[in-house]
Amino acid sequence: MQRYYDIAKKPILAGSFSCQSIDSGLKVNQDSCIKIVSTQQKRADFFEWYAKNCLKTKYTIGYHWFKLVDGNYNFGLVNNEDEPYNILVDRMEEINSMIYNLHDN
């Protein structure tokens, strides 16, 4: 993202990122560039790593998780029965509550 910022000199919104976990029982999209991990815990860890790296920069103004409901693949914050992946959702709440402090530092 640094390279894009250096060229454009415009703020960046990191849109449409996600991570799939194979423990969801849903299909894994191996044809995409989506990160695939083994557990929902590692999915939450990936979110934290990505979000914190976005927030460390002066030019990233936000980020957007790809999908709310899973569908055929484990991209969502909730499964197809509208039950949240609590490990991921709780981590998002934790990191998002620290956005201003992380971005200011």
What digits encode the pLDDT tens for the residues 77-101?
A: 999 999 999 999 999 999 999 988 8
**Does the pLDDT at position 11 exceed 70?**
yes
Contacts of 92 (CB under 8 A, 6+ apart): 44, 47, 51, 65, 77
Mean pLDDT of 11-35: 82
Query: What's the pLDDT at 26?
Result: 87
Give this prediction's pTM.
Answer: 0.87
User: What is the amino acid identity at position 70?
Assistant: D
Q: Pick the residue with more confidence: 105 or 42?
A: 42
Identify the pLDDT of residue 25: 86
Maximum CA pair distance of the chain? Answer: 44
Retrieve residue 61's tokens: 């103004």
Residue 7: is it exposed, middle or buried by C-beta count within 10 angstroms (0-12/13-18/19+)?
A: exposed
Percentage above 70 pLDDT, the chain: 95
pLDDT tens digits for range 18-27: 888 888 888 8
Quickly state the pLDDT bin for 31 (edges 50, 70, 90).
low
Res 16 pLDDT > 70:
yes
